[in-house]
Chains A and B, each alone.
Chain A
Amino acid sequence: MVSAVALDARRAREVLAQVVDPEIPTLTIEELGILRDVAVEEGRVTVDITPTYSGCPAMDLIRRQVRDALVAAGFVDVEVRTVYAPAWTTDDISDEGRRKLAAVGIAPPRRLDEVTVPILCPRCATDRVRTVAEFGSTACKALMVCERCGEPFDRFKEL
């Protein structure tokens, strides 16, 4: 028999799978890897999220979006907790997340065990790229420019 509690946890996960990151809305918080845990106990949903960067200014908004999404789906008692361990790393971004980043013109982070592979321009795939600034439109990205097609682009920094 599938218990009501188990159904609720599955439902909560389905709802949370739709919540997107406010700064990179092409990714869901699950694909970004910041959704750490979802637990349902006696009707109370507890969601653990972790910041990409300590100072991530989007955390308050993400917390609210998580709560709003669950409340809209009928969950009444929702707690959203911020956890720091284990620390988020760009390796937590899913393969689907990486594919989506590249599709919108953001060079995805390299895996931490292969940071020597060249960074490729997300538009023309050349490795003739250079860093313009270590900090781009958000803390987690660096600003690059492609020397072949001339397009500037963001690169997700490995962390």
Chain B
Amino acid sequence: MTTRDRITSRAPQGSVPVFDGDPLFLYLVRHADDNLILAQRLSQWVSWAPELEEDIALANLALDFLGVARALYTYAGEVEGRGRTEDDLAMLRTEREFTNVLLVEQPNGDFAHTMARQLFFDAYQLGLWEALSSSADATLGGIAAKALKEARYHFRHSSTWVIRLGDGTEESHRRMQAGIDALWRFVGELFVGDDVEAAMVEAGVGVDPSTLQEAWEERVSDVVSQATLSVPDDPFQRMGGRVGFHSEHLGHLLAEMQWMQRAYPGMEW
């Protein structure tokens, strides 16, 4: 598998950046958004997972992602200096203001779809957090070092399932392959940088996402081949999450997640 040859990602044509401001703030928020949206997706599995232990596992993974999101939002609010809290950033921004990658907002589908999404994202976060652990920003570095420990067992969890399902029955193999095929078009976006990332790399705070791609490919192709699966030949990749152009699924997710704060502003429970 040589995804670098196949993945050629572009920002949506004619898009105008709607985000300006402190690049550190924008950088923290985009990674917080990735973690929050994935946490929300995973929590939708609660009481629906194929077995009780997996139900608990998915809820625990969701908690990890939520915890990272909270730490990043809280810090982003401090960096911005306008008094916005983690809750303000999570609950009171609109769909166009969210800058998560498209991968994490994709619907859960069947369990195999969820595990394909998780494999791709866990493999990405392994490289991301490792790189950010040595960030020149001590707070971000601390959050990353913590998250890296968790990314290791997240990846172990998702790769175990992908191998078990891919190298399982005819039916589980077919479904696991379908999950990989359906989500492959969203992996390219993980490795495309923009001005925000360039500024963070310049400051020694962030990582150029394109430098994470090679190790990601090795991790994923190792699991995919062990699972007797393959990645699609289709080079088409979708983009846009980082500039607020989302798939139709994010709006529905936010409507469910935010409705209570929207209906009862400032409510606490």
Contact = CB atoms under 8 A, between A and B. Distances in A.
A16 interface: no
Q: Name B's interface SS.
A: helix
Q: Name A's interface SS.
A: loop
A123 to B, nearest CB: 21
Interface centre among A57, A82, A84, A133 (most CB of B within 10 A): A84
Give the size category of B's interface with A: 20 to 34
Given A53-B67, A54-B71, A55-B66, A87 B56 contact: no
A139 interface: yes
A74 B56 CA distance: 41
A9 interface: no
B147 interface: yes
A93 interface: no
Given A55-B66, A56-B67, A87-B146, A135 B138 contact: no
Interface string B49-88: 0000110110010111111100100000000000000000
B57 A135 contact: yes
B96 interface: no
B142 A54 contact: no
A54 B67 contact: yes
A25 interface: no
Contacts of A159: 149
20 contacts: A51-B67, A51-B146, A54-B64, A54-B67, A55-B66, A55-B68, A56-B63, A56-B67, A82-B71, A84-B139, A85-B139, A85-B142, A87-B142, A87-B146, A89-B149, A132-B53, A133-B56, A136-B56, A139-B64, A157-B153
A-B pairs, 4 with minimum CB distance: A85-B142, A55-B67, A55-B63, A54-B67
